Structure 1
Amino acid sequence: MSDYHEIVNLNVGGTRFATSWHTLTWVPDTFFSALLSGRIPTVRDETGAIFIDRDPKLFGLILNFLRTRDIDLNNVNIRALRHECDYFGIMPLSRRLALCDEMNHSSCGDVLFYGYLPPPLNTPLPNNSNSRNGNGSRKNSTASSSEAPTNRTHSRNSSLDLRAVGRIPSQDQLSRCGRGHSRAASLGNADGHKGLRPPEVNTWADSMKVQIIKAHHNWVAVAYTHFVTGYRLTDSCGWYVVFQSPVQDSVIERIALNAKTGGSANSSGNNSAGTDVMLGITSGPLVKLWAFSTHTEPVRRTLIGTFNLGVRVEHLLFVGPQLVALSGAASRSKAGVWHTSTQHWQTQDVAHLTTYDTAGSFLLLGTATGAINYIDMQKFPLRMKDNDLLVTQLYKDPNQEPISAISVYLTPKTNLCGNWIEIAYGTRYGSVRVIVQHPETVGHGPQLFQTFTVHQSPITKVSLSEKYLISVCSEYNHVRSWRVTRFRGMISTQPGTTPKAAFKVLALEAPTAQAHNDCGPYGEQDEEQIFIQKIVPDSDTLFVRLASNGKRVCTIQSVDGSAVSCFVVAECEGALRPRRLLLAGHRSGATQMWDLTAPIDRAAKPAAPHSGEGEESPEKDGGPSPDELVRLLSTCDLDAQPAQPAPHSPNRPLAP
C-alpha cells in the first residue's frame, strides 16, 4: 500500500508521466493534493493511470518545476503556462510567471505612450435651465444666448488637479472589458451622479464610455453619451481640462471642433468675438453650436444656436469657421451651413448625396447619380439672403456610376480659391478614377485621367496624396495602393501610376460602430499616411500600419487593460515640430494618447532605395500574426457572423 502512495502514474492528454506522491504534493492546497486525497473524483485509463485532460507539454514544464524548483522559459508561452499553473493551483510558479508577464506590460505605457486623460471628475450635473427656459419650452433655436460658465476653469490649478487625479489605475483595479475602473465605480455610486442616468442608458459606466474623439490644433474634444469635455495642450502645463458642455437630454451622435489659433476679436466677426474654440454636437436632426472664450476666468460659454436640419445628421464638420451638417438619407439628402459672418443657418436639399471631401474653402459632394458637385464657402455672404448654397456641378462620371468615396488633392501651385486640382473618387461598382484640372485645362472642366477596375466591391475610401493613390473597398477593408509619379508638383502622365501593394485591414466592427472607429487612412497628403486596425469590438490592442504598403509601424496596447471604444489620429502642434498622436477613447471613460511621429518616420525610411529611384522590395503584411489574431478572436463571438463593412466612413462616404 505504501508503494502505491509513493509512485503516481498519470495520463495527461494521452502522454504518460510517473512521479512521486511527495513531488506532486509539496506545494499545499493544489489540484494534486485534492486529487490524491479523494476530494476530486479520478478517472483512470486501461493501465490504471490517473487521466487528466490537460496539455501534456505544459504539464511537463510544471512537473519539472515541482521536481527541481526551477524552470526553463526559453520558447515558452508564458501566458499559456501561467493559465495552466492557475488551473493546477501551483501558486509559487504562477506568481513568478505573473511577474515575468508584468515585465512586458507597464501601466506607464511604452516609449510611444504620450498621455492619459482620466474620466472627468467634475461631471456636469443635469440642469433644466441649461436646455429649457422658465416655462419649460426650449430656447429660441436661432438666437444667440449666453449661458452660465462651465464648472471647470482655465487655470494652472486645473492642470495641477488633472495631473493629481490622472494616475493610471493598476491592473487589479480594472477588468479586461474596461468597466472595472475603481475611480469610475466609486463616482458612479455617488448620489450626485444619479442624474447622469437617462432612460436609454442602464448604467453610469455605459454613459461614461468615450463615444467620440475630435481634435484640432492643440485641442481635443472627448464626447461621452450626454456631454463633451474639452482639453488643451501647452508645453508648460501639458493637457488640462478647459471646458465641458451642458448635459444633453438626448444621446450625442456627432461632434465637430474648431480651434482658432489667434483668438482675436475680429477673427469670428460676431458677438462671440475673442473665442478660440467652437463646438458643435448633433442628436438626430438637431445641431447645437457653442463658442468658448477660454482667455477669461471663468471660461465663458455662449450658445450660438440650436438648428434643425430636418433629417438625421450623418456628418458634422467645420470648413474654416463655417459649420456644415450633411445627411445622405435616401429620401431626403440635405446640407445645412451656419456661416460665421452672417450668423445665418441655411439648409438646402442636395439630390442623392453619398460622400464628401473638403479642399480649402470648397466642399465637394459626391452623388448617387455619378455627379460631383461643390459649394464655395467664400461666396456665402453674397447669396445667403437668397437662401441659395450655390451647389454647382463640377464633373459627371462617364458611366454615371454612384460615387461612394472622394479625395481632393490641391497641387502645390494652387491656392485655397484656385482651380488647379486633382480628384480621386471611387464608385459603388468598384471603379477608382482620377480626374485633373491643371493650368493647361483652365476654362474647361476636370478631365478624366486614369481608371482602375481592380476592386470587385463598393469603394469605401480613397486618398490621393503627393506620392500615393490609396483605395479601400468593402470586402473587409481590402486596400490597393499605387505610387504616383509627379512632374513639377502635378500628377504626370508619364510613366503614370505603378501598382504598389494589396492587403486587408480586417475589422470585425458592426456598421453602427464604424463611424467612430474608421481605419483611415490618416495623415497629411504630403507625408506618409497610416491605417489604424482594430480587430474586434472589445479589443485593447490597435495595429498601426503604413497606408502605402501595409507594413506594421507599431502595436498599441491599452495601459490599463480597458477596451478601446473609439480612436482618431490628429496632428498636434508642438514647440519644435508637430506631433502625430493616436487618441484612443476607452470604455473605462479614459482617453489614452500615443506619439506615432518617430515610428512612422522609421517605418517610412526603407521606402527610399539606396540606389535612387526605383521600387522597394515587397514588404510582409503588417497585420496581426496568426497567434495575435487567435488571441484577439478568443474575445469575440464569431457565431454572430459580423457583416462586411458597409460603404461608410466618418469623413468621406455617407450612408446611401
Structure 2
Amino acid sequence: MSNYQEIVNLNVGGTRFATSWHTLTWVPDTFFTALLSGRIPTVRDETGAIFIDRDPNLFGLILNFLRTRDIDLNNVNIRALRHECDYFGITPLSRRLALCDEMNHSSCGDVLFYGYLPPPLSTNTNGRNGNSCSRKNSTASSTEVTVNRTHSRNSSLDLRTVGRIPSQDQLSRCGRGHSRAASLGNADSHKGLRPPEISAWADSMKVQIIKAHHNWIAVAYSHFVTGYRLTDSCGWYVVFQSPVQDSVIERIALNAKTGGGGANSSGNNSAGTDVMLGVASGPLVRLWAFSTHTEPVRRTLVGTFNLGVRVEHLLFVGPQLVALSGAGSRSKAGVWHTSTQHWQTQDVAHLTTYDTAGSFLLLGTATGAINYIDMQKFPLRMKDNDLLVTQLYKDPNQEPITAISVYLTPKTNLCGNWIEIAYGTRYGSVRVIVQHPETVGHGPQLFQTFTVHQSPVTKVSLSENYLISVCSEYNHVRSWRVTRFRGMISTQPGTTPKAAFKVLALEAPTAQPHNDCGPYGEQDEEQIFIQKVVPDTDTLYVRLASNGKRVCTIRSVDGSAVSCFTVAECEGALRPRRLLLCGHRSGAAQMWDLTAPIDKAAKQNQGVAASSGEGDESPVPDGGPTPDELVRLLSACDLDATPVPVVVPQSPNRPMQAP
C-alpha cells in the first residue's frame, strides 16, 4: 500500500506529533482509521497538520502504546487515560486499563474495611447458606418479642448480616403501606407508584442515625431501630429491633451492659437486661430494655416520657437516660433514673451545650453560666420533686457558652478535687477553668483565655495533650499543645499553638447532629476529625485533630452515599478497636478499623514534633481534600441547593480581641 509508510503530522491540543500511517491504523475501527479514510472531516492548522482538540499528554501515552504495544502506568491517572482510549476507540489498551481500574477498586473495601451490614429489608430465605436462624415475628404492640438473631458463620471480618422485615400492618400504620415486593426494592413493583412515593420510601429506608456503645450498634431508620452485637466468634449479628414508630425518629441513645433488672408488664424481673434503647420523636421519649440472655430475646417498654418541648439531645449518663431541649427560655432537662424508675424534668433556662464527666452532667447556658447535675446523688438529692441543678461557674464577661469539654485528670480519680473544663463562647473566646485542691468549695478558677476565633465556637475538646477548638466559619480549627506536670495542666510554659486548619463541610444544619465532624476519641489518646465535604458523597476524610493531617480516606464499598457516621471504641480479642461506623442511603451500614492508621499517623506526628522541637510552629499542610478531589466532589454537588454554614455576626458589644 502506497501510504503504508506515509508520515502523518498531528497537532493535538497545540502539541505537534509525527508518526506513520501504519502506527495509527494497526488497531482496526478506531478514530484514526475513520479520520485517515476520510469518514471524519479533518481540520488542519497553518502547517497542514491535522488538528485534534484533545489532551496532548494523554495522547502521547496512547501514541507510544500504538508504537510499542506496551505502556508504563506509573504516575498516570488511569481513569482519565481510559476515557481518552474510549474516545479514540483503542480497544486493546482500554481493556487493559479497565482491568487495572477494577484491580485497584474492590467491592469488599481496602485493608481498613471491617464490616458490612446489609439493609434490614433484604430478604433471606430460611436457612440460606445455613446461616439464618428464622424466628416468628410478633406485632409491635406486644410486650415480649422474638427477634431474628441472624449472623454469619465467618469471622468478624466478613460480617454478613440480614435483619427482619417489619410487618405490613406496621408499615401501614406509619403511612408507608407499600407492598412487600415494593419494600424489597424490586424495580418492577415500583411501576404503580408515583415518583414521590418511591422517593419517600427510599428516604425512609436510608440510615438516619448510627450509635454505638461497647460492642453494640444501633442503626436507626425513619421509623424503627435495629440493634447489632459484635463477638469474636460470630462477628456482627442482629439482636433486637424496636417496634415501628408512627412518628419519625429524630434522636436515639444506646446503653449496653446496664446490668440492672427491669420489670415487664407481668411484674416479673427480666434477668440480664444488658441493652437499653431510647428513642425521641418531637417531645416524646420511649425507653426499652432488652434482655438478650434469654431465648427469645425479651423486650420491655420501660416507659414513654414527655419533655414538653422538642428533644434536641438524648444520651445516657451511666444508666440514667437524659433528654435535653435546645436553646431558648423554655429549655428543659429530663432524667429517667434506673434505680428509682422515676422520670423528672426541670427548667434549665437558655440551655446551649452540654458535656459529661463521670456521673456529672455539665450544662452551658446563653447567660454565661455553667451548671451541673450530679447523677450519682440524684436519688438522694431531690428538691420539690425537681432535679437539683447547681451553678458551677459564671463567665467573667457573661458571654453565651456554646461549647464545653470536661477533662478528669488522673489526680481526680485519687482525690476527686482536680477538674479541668474548657469552654467556648458565642463571641469566639476559648477559656480553660480549673478546680484544684486550693479552691475546693469556691468553684473553678479561670486558668487561661484564648481569643483567636472571630466566630462562635461550636466545638471544644480538652485532652491529655491538646486543646482543640472549632468555630462556625467553615469549621475552622485551632489547636494547642498542653503542658502538664504530674498529670495536671501547667502554667509553665503553658500551652503552645500547634495548628490551624478547616474541616470544610457543606452540610445542611438539620443533618449536622448526625454528621458531627468531631473530634472523636478518648481524651488520653490521639483524637480525630471525620470530614464529609458534600451531602451526597461516598467519601470521608479521616484527619488528626491535633494538626489536621490526613490519616486515611474512606470510600463506601457499594458506592452509596454516606448519610450518617460516628466513631466508637469496640472491644477486641487483643486490643480495643476504634471503628468508623457509617450509615448509608442504601440502608446498609459499613465499618472501618481506624486503629492501625491512627497509631501510625500519631507516631509520625510525634517523630516530627521531636525532630523539629516542641516550640517550633512550622506550617502544617492541610490534610483535607486536595484541589482535584474538592473539584470532583463539588462537581457532584448542587451548590445552589446546598446550604453553606452561616457565620453569625459579632455583637457590637463584644470586647476587643486579638486577631
Quick check: TM above 0.5? yes
CA spacing shift, 1:271–1:162, aligned 2, 3 Å? same
Q: CA deviation at 1:308?
A: 2.1
Instruction: Give the whole-Å Cα distance in 1 for the aligned partners of 2:628 and 2:168.
Output: 23
CA spacing shift, 1:148–1:537, aligned 2, 3 Å? same
Match of 2:253 among 242, 253, 256: 256
CA spacing shift, 1:164–1:40, aligned 2, 3 Å? farther
CA spacing shift, 1:507–1:7, aligned 2, 3 Å? same
Q: CA deviation at 1:529?
A: 0.9
Instruction: Give the whole-Å Cα distance in 2 for the aligned partners of 1:141 and 1:169.
Output: 10
For each residue in 1:268-321, what CA deviation from the matched residue of structure 2 results, as whole angstroms up to 9, or x when unmatched?
Answer: 999555211111112222222111111112211112222222222111111111
CA spacing shift, 1:647–1:596, aligned 2, 3 Å? farther
Instruction: Give the whole-Å Cα distance in 1 for the aligned partners of 2:626 and 2:174.
Output: 23
For each residue in 1:307-337, what CA deviation from the matched residue of structure 2 results, as whole angstroms up to 9, or x when unmatched?
Answer: 2222221111111111111111435212222
Q: CA deviation at 1:614?
A: 6.3
For each residue in 1:473-529, what CA deviation from the matched residue of structure 2 results, as whole angstroms up to 9, or x when unmatched?
Answer: 111111111111222222122222121111111222222222111111111111111
CA spacing shift, 1:578–1:268, aligned 2, 3 Å? farther
Instruction: Give the whole-Å Cα distance in 2 for the aligned partners of 1:472 and 1:615.
Output: 22
Secondary structure in structure 2 of the residue aligned to 1:129:
coil
Please give the TM-score of this superposition, normalised by the length of structure 1.
Answer: 0.84
CA spacing shift, 1:160–1:652, aligned 2, 3 Å? farther
Unaligned runs of at least 5 residues, structure 2: none
Instruction: Give the whole-Å Cα distance in 1 for the aligned partners of 2:83 and 2:267.
Output: 64
CA spacing shift, 1:145–1:373, aligned 2, 3 Å? farther
Unaligned runs of at least 5 residues, structure 1: none
User: Which deviates further from its counterpart, 9-18 or 588-597?
Assistant: 9-18
CA spacing shift, 1:327–1:194, aligned 2, 3 Å? farther
Instruction: Give the whole-Å Cα distance in 1 for the aligned partners of 2:443 and 2:485.
Output: 21
8 Å CA contact retained: 1:152, 1:241: yes
Match of 1:131 among 127, 144, 148: 127
CA spacing shift, 1:134–1:621, aligned 2, 3 Å? closer
Matched, 1:611 2:608: no
CA spacing shift, 1:510–1:243, aligned 2, 3 Å? same
CA spacing shift, 1:335–1:138, aligned 2, 3 Å? farther
CA spacing shift, 1:394–1:380, aligned 2, 3 Å? same
8 Å CA contact retained: 2:321, 2:337: yes
Instruction: Give the whole-Å Cα distance in 2 for the aligned partners of 1:570 and 1:283.
Output: 24
Matched, 1:202 2:196: no
8 Å CA contact retained: 2:131, 2:150: no
CA spacing shift, 1:567–1:182, aligned 2, 3 Å? farther
8 Å CA contact retained: 1:122, 1:151: no
CA spacing shift, 1:195–1:425, aligned 2, 3 Å? farther
8 Å CA contact retained: 1:569, 1:582: yes
Give 2:392's aligned residue. 394
Give 1:79's aligned residue. 79
Secondary structure in structure 2 of the residue aligned to 1:220:
strand
Give 2:183's aligned residue. 186
User: Which deviates further from its counterpart, 79-88 or 41-50?
Assistant: 41-50
Please give the TM-score of this superposition, normalised by the length of structure 2.
Answer: 0.84
User: Which deviates further from its counterpart, 248-257 or 402-411?
Assistant: 248-257
8 Å CA contact retained: 2:328, 2:350: yes
CA spacing shift, 1:101–1:166, aligned 2, 3 Å? farther
Secondary structure in structure 2 of the residue aligned to 1:599:
helix
For each residue in 1:129-150, what CA deviation from the matched residue of structure 2 results, as whole angstroms up to 9, or x when unmatched?
Answer: 9999999999999999724333
Q: CA deviation at 1:546?
A: 1.5
User: Which deviates further from its counterpart, 541-550 or 174-183?
Assistant: 174-183
Instruction: Give the whole-Å Cα distance in 1 for the aligned partners of 2:24 and 2:119.
Output: 48
CA spacing shift, 1:180–1:541, aligned 2, 3 Å? farther
CA spacing shift, 1:612–1:61, aligned 2, 3 Å? closer
8 Å CA contact retained: 2:58, 2:84: yes
Secondary structure in structure 1 of the residue aligned to 2:156:
helix
For each residue in 1:533-561, what CA deviation from the matched residue of structure 2 results, as whole angstroms up to 9, or x when unmatched?
Answer: 22222222222221112222222222233
8 Å CA contact retained: 1:522, 1:530: yes
Q: CA deviation at 1:197?
A: 12
8 Å CA contact retained: 2:166, 2:244: no
Q: CA deviation at 1:19?
A: 4.7
Q: CA deviation at 1:531?
A: 1.1
Instruction: Give the whole-Å Cα distance in 1 for the aligned partners of 2:428 and 2:192.
Output: 49
Instruction: Give the whole-Å Cα distance in 1 for the aligned partners of 2:165 and 2:619.
Output: 40
For each residue in 1:396-451, what CA deviation from the matched residue of structure 2 results, as whole angstroms up to 9, or x when unmatched?
Answer: 11111111000011121224994531110000100000111111111101111111
Higher RCO (CA 8 Å, separation ≥ 6 residues) = 1
Secondary structure in structure 1 of the residue aligned to 2:160:
helix
Instruction: Give the whole-Å Cα distance in 2 for the aligned partners of 1:479 and 1:507.
Output: 13
8 Å CA contact retained: 2:562, 2:584: yes
Instruction: Give the whole-Å Cα distance in 2 for the aligned partners of 1:604 and 1:245.
Output: 40
8 Å CA contact retained: 1:153, 1:243: no
CA spacing shift, 1:267–1:205, aligned 2, 3 Å? closer
Instruction: Give the whole-Å Cα distance in 2 for the aligned partners of 1:485 and 1:227.
Output: 47
User: Which deviates further from its counterpart, 311-320 or 624-633?
Assistant: 624-633
Instruction: Give the whole-Å Cα distance in 2 for the aligned partners of 1:537 and 1:88.
Output: 35
User: Which deviates further from its counterpart, 138-147 or 332-341?
Assistant: 138-147
Q: CA deviation at 1:373?
A: 0.9
User: Which deviates further from its counterpart, 539-548 or 638-647?
Assistant: 638-647
User: Which deviates further from its counterpart, 7-16 or 169-178?
Assistant: 169-178
Instruction: Give the whole-Å Cα distance in 1 for the aligned partners of 2:344 and 2:170.
Output: 50
Aligned residues: 651
Give 2:654's aligned residue. 652
Instruction: Give the whole-Å Cα distance in 1 for the aligned partners of 2:127 and 2:370.
Output: 39
CA spacing shift, 1:649–1:307, aligned 2, 3 Å? farther
Q: CA deviation at 1:252?
A: 1.7
Instruction: Give the whole-Å Cα distance in 1 for the aligned partners of 2:413 and 2:267.
Output: 23
Give 2:150's aligned residue. 153
User: Which deviates further from its counterpart, 582-591 or 32-41?
Assistant: 32-41
Give 2:164's aligned residue. 167
Secondary structure in structure 2 of the residue aligned to 1:620:
coil
Matched, 1:231 2:228: yes
Give 1:321's aligned residue. 319
Secondary structure in structure 2 of the residue aligned to 1:9:
strand
User: Which deviates further from its counterpart, 396-405 or 492-501?
Assistant: 492-501
Secondary structure in structure 1 of the residue aligned to 2:311:
coil
Q: CA deviation at 1:619?
A: 4.2
User: Which deviates further from its counterpart, 221-230 or 21-30?
Assistant: 21-30
Q: CA deviation at 1:27?
A: 3.3
Q: CA deviation at 1:368?
A: 0.8
For each residue in 1:12-68, what CA deviation from the matched residue of structure 2 results, as whole angstroms up to 9, or x when unmatched?
Answer: 323344555554444344444555566656555556655432212212222332333
Instruction: Give the whole-Å Cα distance in 1 for the aligned partners of 2:210 and 2:650.
Output: 18
Q: Percent identity?
A: 92
Q: CA deviation at 1:100?
A: 2.0
8 Å CA contact retained: 1:419, 1:437: yes
8 Å CA contact retained: 2:216, 2:228: yes
CA spacing shift, 1:144–1:22, aligned 2, 3 Å? closer
For each residue in 1:338-382, what CA deviation from the matched residue of structure 2 results, as whole angstroms up to 9, or x when unmatched?
Answer: 221222222222111111101111111111111111112223323
8 Å CA contact retained: 1:158, 1:241: no
CA spacing shift, 1:619–1:31, aligned 2, 3 Å? same
Give 2:378's aligned residue. 380
Secondary structure in structure 2 of the residue aligned to 1:2:
coil
Instruction: Give the whole-Å Cα distance in 1 for the aligned partners of 2:131 and 2:621.
Output: 65
